Amino acid sequence: MKSSLALTLLGAGAAHAFPAMSDAEASAMLDSMTLSKRAIDPSKPIPVDGEHAYRRANFAAGEIRGPCPGLNALANHGYLPRSGVGSIADFQAVTDVFGVAPTLNQFLAVYGAVFDGDLLSWSIGGPPPAGLIGGLLGGTGLIGAPQGLSGSHNKYEGDASPTRGDLYVEGNNFVSQPENFQALYDIQKNAANPNYNLDVLGQHRNNRFENSIATNPYFFNGPFSGLAVLPAAYSFIYRLMANHTGANPQEGVLDKETLKTFFGYTGPDDALVFNPGTERIPENWYRRPANDYGVAAAVADGLYFDQFNPSFLSVGGNTGKVNSFTGVDVGDLSGGIFNAQNLREGNNLWCFAMQFAAQAAPDTLKPLFSTLGRPLALIRGATNNAIAAIGGCPQLQQIEDDQFNQFPGAARLSAKGTY
């Protein structure tokens, strides 16, 4: 289906169907959502006592956790609401605790709230219980219950994750699979000074990517979920979880115990056990020295992983059988603006991914909202802010995503993120 940015996002030709929101209104709304609530001194360990003392998630009481160990840890320490459902403003905690640049954090939080929530809030796991979400913004036109991050397959999360199983194979995409974590852990099992840096994670990503191709007939590597979010899921492990003590203040070190603590694993090296709801911030853990992990850094890390498998940057998937991975021409997808070569130049990797997601938004959002003015305005505003932060992008005018019909992992996915 061909979509045009000028028509669908800027409102020309669609204003009568979907009430519009001006750029100024969207910008003001975004500003009001992202005011910092706390000041954390990066030269000191992140507080894990008092109001931020660790408490295991209470699933019996309806608390929610999901596929992202970092978000789960924030909720277990009360940096995010312990319910597991937070407003866009609440996700300021990702900047405060992990040092993610505000513009990238805003983009990811808005994307979650629009595609997985009620425009202002969203669940870090599955659908929230009644009363925890909804009604925060009048006239949103929300249809039905938001599905949360766990229901965002191919919109946000995707196949071949660091520790979770593929949705089609496992039947869920949010439970950490011990064999996957063990495989990552074992790469440094006998290292004299274990450090789960980008080289280790690149090796693990290659193993997981090839495993998904070999075991998941519905494997799909999408333009946003596969080219932007998936590599970030790997790079975030080191960039955001490494301990930046005085001995290693800039790059940090991610050792075995720190890795296990963030991911909720215990046990000896050869018999690790996953304990759901126990992800936590280690004691005496120092975050990045600055809030500087932004889009440009995510692009650089994504391109660094390219050396481990050039297919990481291939949009495509299996065609209903294992080991049938087929790529599509990025030039055809983007009207010739991007191609396999220039995706590796500058910030084009995320330029393409973010704009593709924005262009696909109207079709993705139609089953979720009865009116699209506000959700599209928020996506447009957050995307424009992210693009401005990296000095601009080649402008994607239209997309042609009919090629995805050959991939059951894309074509057969329901609006609720299930097969």
Task: Label residues 339-376 b or e (16+ Cβ within 10 Å = b).
Answer: beebbeebbbbbbbbbbbbbbbbbebbeebbebbbbbb
In 275-375 the beta strands, taken as DSSP E runs, fall at 316-317, 326-327
User: Considering the domain boundaries, does residue 58 fall inside one?
Assistant: no
User: Considering the domain boundaries, does residue 218 fall inside one?
Assistant: yes
Number of domains in the chain: 1
What's the confidence (pLDDT) of residue 140? 67
Domain that holds residue 195: 2-31+99-117+138-271+295-411
User: Considering the domain boundaries, does residue 128 fall inside one?
Assistant: no
User: Considering the domain boundaries, does residue 215 fall inside one?
Assistant: yes
What's the confidence (pLDDT) of residue 132? 60
User: Considering the domain boundaries, does residue 279 fall inside one?
Assistant: no
Q: Which residues of the chain have pLDDT under 70?
A: 1-23, 32-38, 131-140
User: Considering the domain boundaries, does residue 57 fall inside one?
Assistant: no
What's the confidence (pLDDT) of residue 164? 98
Three-state DSSP class for residue 212 = helix
Residue 226 maps to which CATH number? Answer: 1.10.489.10
User: Considering the domain boundaries, does residue 373 fall inside one?
Assistant: yes
Q: Which pLDDT tens digit goes with each residue over 353-409?
A: 999 999 999 999 998 898 898 899 999 999 999 999 999 999 999 999 999 999 999
User: Considering the domain boundaries, does residue 71 fall inside one?
Assistant: no
